[in-house]
């Protein structure tokens, strides 16, 4: 069962890695999307690995990462459209 | 190859990469970014020392790990000061460069 | 046949790939986005090295907050006065590449030739933890707060010095005013909603991570950094503005951590016989007490470092 | 020995993995930014959600299970809001 969890983690990491190609050749908005995918996929892989290898306390780390991914995304989006001028019309 | 050795080699490569960017990028913020890359590479190299030093019933040596945590925060504090200096430099001089030629040219301030 | 070596290899090549992208990206925004992704990936490497505490700190401070610092700075710097820089010539590029490769190779060689058995401070740390830091299940927290407590205290002082350094770079006329806001215009609905949802939940999670730090991964640094991130989220949505730098409460919050730490250390010198010694039996509550104030200081210092020096006309 | 709960875990985690793949394929293959955004949100919400759901029976305590749900909820809220913000930035011409 543990090997199955690890295999799923490996597949998700692989999927996310391919998605990261968007970082290399995309617009700023698409780069953000790729990072968001990396954050979510990373959290999923982290949880799977943690459950498979019994690293203690990783749920808290995942919780922190989820919070940080949200924080970083907010910051980037904030700057992505800050130069667009006015508030919502 | 154990995970620690792999991570250590990754750290070494990161130091090299960061050094390259630090020297070559003309933009000071990019230099700062590269410098942070070097820093994280050094932390990684230091971190595998922690992983190797597992003893006394731990899975790792907690002393280097604790020092890496302290180091990350200090590195951030240093970056923040550097950013403040860069921003003030650009306000004062309208230049965003560390290129000595711009600063020593007689008419340096008005090249724009 | 285990899948782990494969996972590690994918992870390492991902870290290197994103690092290369960060160095070679054309514009600053792309480079910083890459850097945040890099910080996240590095956190996974730290997890694989059984260092969840470092992973959380790296993701929070190394990736997230540093990324926000750089991107905010890039925005304030503006694009126009950057483009005139001359690119280095090919000769210099090759020379630098060779130098960088040499340094990396030398470091790599050192890693492959590390002494066996590895030197370790773990036994000393374990002894110190059993003594002064008794009652803490997380060895990292015990090392930070007991075995190397002076380092940790001074590191808080470094944070305060950095805040002072950043503030003193501002213009004379602006002194006492608030730093510029993290966003020019009024935020619009989805952003405000996100901040309103995220900040309270995030604050609870941050306090939880600080609290479990005594026995499990987490601690004052991680909790403080997450709390700082939540404060910045509310600033980005313009729910709150950066405070004036001469505000009394802000300065008290900044100084609280090191001050309480230092006072406890001095008290230890009187009651327990040596500087930064904790009286036996009371170590855990005292350490948690000190850490609570450290969380406060870190949560106040990091956003002030990102917000930058006081800026004229930001008086509310 | 595979129990019914294990089967549930395997099914949910496989579904989660599938959604991550779907999200990646969409991010790479869809024609424009808005459709890519659409693909991304599926990976975000369902991929992680299914994985978390599959891990809940394997959690040691109620608190661990609760944390899994909170992680999912956090990603849902932030993913939905930032997608909205990215979409808005795209509409307003930032490519």
Q: Band of the pLDDT at C302, cuts 50, 70, 90?
A: very high
> What is the C-alpha end-to-end distance of chain A, expressed in Å?
53
Say yes or no to pLDDT of C162 above 80.
Answer: yes
C179 φ/ψ angles, rounded to the nearest 5 degrees: -65, 160
Provide the whole-model pTM.
0.87
- The answer to whether residue B111 sits within a structural domain is no
Per-residue pLDDT at D95: 47
A46 neighbourhood in chain C, CB within 8 Å: 44, 47
Per-residue pLDDT at C228: 92
Q: What is the mean pLDDT of chain C?
A: 81
Say yes or no to pLDDT of C210 above 80.
Answer: yes
Per-residue pLDDT at B100: 61
Q: C100 versus C185: which is more confidently predicted?
A: C100
Q: Band of the pLDDT at A88, cuts 50, 70, 90?
A: very low
Per-residue pLDDT at A85: 45
Number of domains making up chain C: 1
What is chain A's percent helix, strand, coil content, to nearest 5?
80, 0, 20
Per-residue pLDDT at C227: 92
Pairwise CA distance, residues B8 & C84, whole Å: 38
Distance from CA of D55 to the nearest CA of C (A): 19
Q: C304 versus C89: which is more confidently predicted?
A: C304
Kindly give the residue spans of alpha helices, DSSP state H, lying in chain C: 4-24, 28-48, 52-57, 66-77, 90-112, 122-131, 139-142, 149-168, 189-212, 220-236, 248-271, 283-307
- The answer to whether residue C86 sits within a structural domain is no
**C76, C180 in Cβ contact below 8 A?**
yes
- Binary contact (C190, D84; C-beta < 8 A): yes
What is chain B's percent helix, strand, coil content, to nearest 5?
80, 0, 20
Per-residue pLDDT at B77: 92
**CB-count burial class (<10 Å; 0-12, 13-18, 19+) for C154:** middle
What mean pLDDT do residues D41-60 have? 85
Number of domains making up chain D: 1
- The answer to whether residue C166 sits within a structural domain is yes
Interface of B with C in 33-92 (CB under 8 A): 33-34, 36-37, 40, 43-45, 47-70, 72-81, 83-88, 90
Per-residue pLDDT at C133: 52
- The answer to whether residue B107 sits within a structural domain is no
What mean pLDDT do residues C174-190 have? 77
Range of the domain at B26: 3-99
Q: A84 versus D70: which is more confidently predicted?
A: D70
**C214, C284 in Cβ contact below 8 A?**
yes
Per-residue tokens: C216: 């499990």
Chain C residue nearest residue A70, CA to CA: C198
- The answer to whether residue B21 sits within a structural domain is yes
- At what angle are helices B62-93 and C283-307 packed, to 10 degrees? 20
Q: Band of the pLDDT at B108, cuts 50, 70, 90?
A: very low
How far, CA to CA in Å, does D81 sit from each of A14, B52, B74, B97, D76? 26, 43, 33, 38, 8
What mean pLDDT do residues B20-25 have? 88
Per-residue tokens: D84: 């909205």
Interface of A with C in 14-73 (CB under 8 A): 14, 17, 20, 23-24, 28, 31-32, 34-35, 38-39, 42, 45-46, 49-50, 55-58, 60-61, 63-65, 67-72
What mean pLDDT do residues C278-305 have? 84
HSE-CB for A35 with a 13 A CA cutoff: 38
Say yes or no to pLDDT of D86 above 60.
Answer: yes
Tell me the ipTM for this assembly. Answer: 0.87
DSSP bridge partners of C179: C310
Q: Which residue has the tokens 């200081």?
A: C297
**C252, C301 in Cβ contact below 8 A?**
no
| Beta-carbon contacts of residue A19 (< 8 Å; ≥ 6 apart) | A34, A37, A38, A41, D23, D24, D27, D28
- The answer to whether residue B104 sits within a structural domain is no
- The answer to whether residue C59 sits within a structural domain is no
What CA dihedral angle connects B68, B74, B78 and B79, to 10 degrees?
Answer: 60
Report the greatest alpha carbon distance in chain C.
Answer: 68
Closest Cβ–Cβ partner in C55, C75, C198 for A61: C55
Q: B50 versus C292: which is more confidently predicted?
A: C292
Pairwise CA distance, residues C302 & C292, whole Å: 16
Say yes or no to pLDDT of C86 above 70.
Answer: no
**C231, C298 in Cβ contact below 8 A?**
no
Per-residue pLDDT at A29: 81
- The answer to whether residue B95 sits within a structural domain is yes
Per-residue pLDDT at C316: 44
Would you say the C-alpha torsion B20, B24, B30, B32 has a positive or negative sign?
positive
With a pLDDT cut of 90, the percent of chain C lying above it is 11
**Radius of gyration, alpha carbons of chain A:** 16
List, for residues C122-149, the tens digit of each pLDDT value: 666 666 666 555 556 677 777 777 666 7
A59 neighbourhood in chain D, CB within 8 Å: 64, 67-68, 71
Number of domains making up chain B: 1
- The answer to whether residue B25 sits within a structural domain is yes
- The answer to whether residue C14 sits within a structural domain is no
Neighbours of C271 (CB within 10 A): 11
Give the DSSP H/E element, type plus range, for residue D5.
helix D4-29
Give the DSSP H/E element, type plus range, for residue B78.
helix B62-93
Per-residue pLDDT at C94: 87
- Binary contact (C190, D70; C-beta < 8 A): no
- At what angle are helices D62-91 and D48-55 packed, to 10 degrees? 180
Range of the domain at C138: 126-316
Pairwise CA distance, residues D34 & D40, whole Å: 10
Q: Band of the pLDDT at B57, cuts 50, 70, 90?
A: low
Q: Band of the pLDDT at C301, cuts 50, 70, 90?
A: very high
**Chains with 3 or more CB pairs under 8 A to chain B:** C
Pairwise CA distance, residues D65 & D76, whole Å: 17
- The most confident of A79-88, C45-54, C117-126, by mean pLDDT: C45-54
DSSP bridge partners of C310: C179
- The answer to whether residue C237 sits within a structural domain is yes
Q: C260 versus C4: which is more confidently predicted?
A: C260
List, for residues C58-75, the tens digit of each pLDDT value: 888 878 899 889 888 888
């Amino acid at each position: 069962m543990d090997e199955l969890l690890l295999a799923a983690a490996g597949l998700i990491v692989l999927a996310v890695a391919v998605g990261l190609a968007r970082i290399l050749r995309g617009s700023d908005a698409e780069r953000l999307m790729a990072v968001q995918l990396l954050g979510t996929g990373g959290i999923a892989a982290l949880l799977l690995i943690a459950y498979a290898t019994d690293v203690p306390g990783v749920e808290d780390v995942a919780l922190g990462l989820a919070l940080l991914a949200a924080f970083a995304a907010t910051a980037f989006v904030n700057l992505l459209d800050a130069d667009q001028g006015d508030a919502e019309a | 190859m154990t995970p620690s050795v792999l991570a250590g080699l990754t750290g070494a490569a990161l130091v090299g990469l960061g050094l390259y960017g630090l020297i070559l990028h003309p933009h000071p913020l990019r230099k700062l970014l590269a410098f942070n890359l070097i820093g994280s590479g050094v932390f990684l190299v230091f971190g595998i020392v922690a992983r190797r030093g597992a003893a006394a019933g731990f899975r790792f040596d907690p002393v280097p790990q604790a020092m890496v945590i302290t180091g990350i925060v200090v590195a951030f504090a240093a970056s923040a000061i550097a950013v403040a200096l860069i921003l003030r430099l650009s306000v004062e001089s309208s230049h965003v460069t560390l290129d000595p030629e711009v600063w020593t040219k007689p008419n340096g301030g008005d090249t724009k | 046949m285990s899948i782990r070596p494969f996972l590690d290899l994918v992870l390492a090549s991902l870290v290197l790939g994103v690092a290369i992208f960060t160095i070679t990206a054309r514009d600053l925004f792309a480079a910083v986005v890459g850097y945040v992704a890099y910080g996240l990936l590095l956190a996974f490497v730290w997890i694989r090295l059984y260092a969840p505490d470092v992973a959380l700190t790296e993701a929070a401070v190394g990736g997230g907050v540093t990324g926000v610092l750089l991107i905010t700075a890039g925005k304030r710097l503006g694009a126009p006065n950057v483009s005139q820089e001359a690119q280095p010539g090919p000769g210099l590029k090759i020379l630098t590449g060779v130098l960088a490769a040499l340094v990396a190779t030398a470091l790599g060689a050192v890693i492959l030739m590390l002494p066996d058995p590895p030197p370790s401070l773990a036994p000393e740390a374990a002894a110190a933890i059993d003594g002064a830091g008794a009652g803490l299940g997380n060895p990292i927290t015990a090392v930070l707060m007991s075995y190397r407590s002076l380092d940790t205290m001074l590191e808080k002082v470094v944070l305060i010095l950095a805040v002072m350094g950043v503030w003193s770079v501002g213009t004379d006329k602006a002194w006492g005013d608030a730093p510029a806001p993290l966003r020019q215009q009024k935020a619009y609905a989805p952003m405000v909603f996100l901040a309103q949802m995220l900040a309270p939940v995030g604050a609870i999670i941050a306090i939880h991570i600080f609290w479990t730090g005594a026995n499990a991964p987490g601690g004052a640094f991680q909790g403080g950094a997450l709390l700082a991130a939540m404060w910045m989220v509310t600033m980005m949505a313009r729910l709150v503005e950066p405070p004036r730098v001469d505000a009394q409460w802000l300065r008290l919050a900044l100084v609280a951590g090191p001050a309480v730490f230092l006072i406890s250390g001095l008290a230890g010198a009187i009651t327990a016989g040596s500087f930064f010694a904790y009286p036996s039996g009371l170590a855990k509550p005292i350490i948690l007490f000190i850490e609570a104030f450290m969380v406060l200081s870190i949560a106040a210092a990091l956003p002030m470092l990102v917000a930058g020096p006081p800026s004229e006309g930001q008086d509310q | 020995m595979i129990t019914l709960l294990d089967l549930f875990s395997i099914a949910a985690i496989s579904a989660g993995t599938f959604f991550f793949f779907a999200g990646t394929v969409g991010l790479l293959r869809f024609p424009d930014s808005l459709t890519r955004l659409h693909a991304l949100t599926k990976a975000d919400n369902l991929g992680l959600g299914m994985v978390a759901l599959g891990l809940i029976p394997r959690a040691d305590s109620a608190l661990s299970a609760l944390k899994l749900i909170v992680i999912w909820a956090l990603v849902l809220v932030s993913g939905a809001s930032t997608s909205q913000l990215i979409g808005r930035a795209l509409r307003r011409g930032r490519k």
